Amino acid sequence: MALHRYQSADIAHWRKSRPQEERLADKLLFLSAELPLADALSAIRQQHCKVALLGIPEDIGPRANLGLGGADQGWSAFLSVWLNLQANAFSQPIGPVLLAGHVECADLQQQASKLDVSQPEQLQQLRALCNELDQQVEAVMAQLFQAGFYVIVIGGGHNNAYPLIKALATATEQAVHCANLDPHSDFRPLEGRHSGNGFSYAWQQQLLANYFVLGLHELKNSQASLTQLQQAGAEFVSLQALFTRQQISWQEALDRCIDFVADSTGAIGIELDTDSIELMPASAFTSTGLSVHQATQYVYQLALLPRSRYLHLAEAAPARHPAGQDAGMQHCGQVLAALCDAFMQAKAVVADSHADAAID
């Protein structure tokens, strides 16, 4: 089964209690363990639930891209913080939230852990495992999209952008438009699946339409990637244009991104690589990124678009924190929770304006 469906017992070890207080963990909806997945999702949607949370606990994609591991812990970091936030008048503005569970990938993780990326043959095996993971993620996401959910996907590498885009394109029968807050374009060559070529694979298969990279680092993208990005008709605003040369303001760049991905029909995906955020414990740590507040504004303003269907928060890696795993869990958890809240806040505005009638 591609989806491990959570029940209340699955999150008990993360929950903290205090007298006379309710936490978000106390307000969640869970899928029936007995019904077929499509029926279980339909039953939850009938409870006026619009948002589903899904975890992907893997780091196969980043390692297959010759990067560092640790992204498999992003989902746990998020849950350890978000579940314990206060349930009050400000929380869950979009209504009840489904904690769907996580994609089953422990077996793939175990196989990947034995592979040495310095050995070409084993690197190709790792990339083959990433391809298998694509199929697992796509199978779960297809059902969530077909059921009409907005989906927040947390954890794992940016390789998972490809199966997300593929599932949404299949569900809507149209190519998907994507905004990506990321110093990397992830448009590397089609050399076997990994975290650096999710968007180039999606474009090559005509699943990706308008693509905009916000915060691209001019010196962290190969010329081959930049050339292919141009050939795809994609656009970007670089960190250097924003802050070094100050050729454009942050809000002007964000407006340009929004206009580009909204300029056509078709669903929109909101992608965010957490290594875009300054000092974030991530697969590719950066000291020269954007602030958390800029990242939450990016998510909020993109999520106000009625056609935006998912938020993908990739590459958070708690073990990469300079102070160690525990500090990284707290740091990653707080940032991921803030980004998740920004998406829900915006979708509450969309719901209030009745602009999501196409989904309901």
The single residue listed with the structure tokens 């308008």 is 210
Give the Å distances, CA to CA, from 297 to 14, 44, 72, 154, 168. 28, 29, 26, 18, 24
Band of pLDDT at residue 1, cut at 50, 70 and 90: low
What pLDDT shows up at residue 356? Answer: 47
161: which residues sit within 8 A by CB, 6+ positions away? 178, 180, 186, 198, 199, 202, 269, 271, 312, 314
Provide CATH code, domain 3-352.
3.40.800.10
Q: Residue 337 pLDDT > 90, yes or no?
A: yes
Task: Collapse the DSSP code of 177 into the 3-class scheme (helix H, G, I; strand E, B; otherwise coil) and give the result.
Answer: strand
Residues of the chain by 3-state class (helix, strand, coil), percent to 5? 45, 15, 35
pLDDT (tens digit per residue) in 281-319: 999 988 999 999 999 999 999 999 999 999 999 999 999
What pLDDT shows up at residue 38? Answer: 97
Give the Å distances, CA to CA, from 183 to 47, 186, 220, 273. 39, 9, 7, 8
Its pTM surpasses 0.95: yes
What pLDDT shows up at residue 93? Answer: 86
pLDDT (tens digit per residue) in 15-63: 998 999 999 999 999 999 999 999 999 999 999 999 999 999 999 999 9
Q: Residue 357 pLDDT > 70, yes or no?
A: no
Rounded distance, CA 245 to CA 264, Å? Answer: 31
Q: Residue 355 pLDDT > 90, yes or no?
A: no
Q: Residue 247 pLDDT > 70, yes or no?
A: yes
Q: Residue 145 pLDDT > 60, yes or no?
A: yes
Residue pair 62/69 in contact by the 8 Å Cβ criterion: yes
CB atoms within 10 A of CB 63: 26
Residue pair 310/152 in contact by the 8 Å Cβ criterion: yes
Alpha helix (H) ranges present in 247-324?
250-262, 292-303
Burial class (CB in 10 A: 0-12, 13-18, 19+), 320: buried
The single residue listed with the structure tokens 């309710």 is 22
Residue pair 124/77 in contact by the 8 Å Cβ criterion: no
Residue pair 355/104 in contact by the 8 Å Cβ criterion: no
Q: Residue 327 pLDDT > 70, yes or no?
A: yes
Helix (H) or strand (E) holding 245: none
Burial class (CB in 10 A: 0-12, 13-18, 19+), 65: buried
Instruction: Read off the pLDDT of each residue in 105-111 and give the average, rounded to a whole number.
Output: 97
Percent over 90 (pLDDT), the chain: 94
Angle of CA points 122, 128, 130, to nearest 5°? 110
Instruction: Read off the pLDDT of each residue in 140-161 and give the average, rounded to a whole number.
Output: 98
pLDDT (tens digit per residue) in 167-219: 999 999 999 999 999 999 999 999 999 999 999 999 999 999 999 999 999 99
Least Cα distance to 7 among 23, 31, 24 occurs for 31
What pLDDT shows up at residue 354? Answer: 61
Rounded distance, CA 64 to CA 323, Å? Answer: 26
Handedness of CA 255, 258, 261, 265 (dihedral sign): negative
Band of pLDDT at residue 163, cut at 50, 70 and 90: very high
What pLDDT shows up at residue 360? Answer: 46
- The amino acid occupying position 111 is Q
Burial class (CB in 10 A: 0-12, 13-18, 19+), 34: exposed
Q: Mean of the per-residue pLDDT values for the chain?
A: 96
